[in-house]
Amino acid sequence: MPFSVSLNGQQTSKDLVYYYYYNNPQVTVVEPDLGPETGGNTIVLKGQNFKPFQDEPDVDNSNSTYCAFEALNVKVKATVYNSTKAICVAPPSYYWK
């Protein structure tokens, strides 16, 4: 939906752009906290705000949710189940060959 603004006395039309604010996700529980060097185990994350736009059907942030394994410098795509639960599959350790 276009709208008009006045800029230095000139009328200008602009397209309407939607911008959403949301609370950052908060992780409160990670289970389990260790796993095999071969990886492949499921990690359950519990917390809040994993799906901040669940009431907005046109906004989906699930493709931008990852688990970061900082020691390995690896990010793994998370599967978000709801606002309080997500899972990731652990990658293999760099020690595993």
Decide if 28 is inside a domain. Answer: yes
Decide if 17 is inside a domain. Answer: no
Decide if 85 is inside a domain. Answer: yes
**Which pLDDT does position 10 carry in this prediction?**
65
**Which pLDDT does position 4 carry in this prediction?**
57
Decide if 15 is inside a domain. Answer: no
Q: Which domain holds residue 49?
A: 23-89
The residue type at 69: F
**Which pLDDT does position 14 carry in this prediction?**
63
**Which pLDDT does position 28 carry in this prediction?**
96
**Which pLDDT does position 8 carry in this prediction?**
63
**Which pLDDT does position 3 carry in this prediction?**
55
Q: Which residue stretches of the chain have pLDDT < 70?
A: 1-16, 62, 96-97
Decide if 57 is inside a domain. Answer: yes
**Which pLDDT does position 12 carry in this prediction?**
62
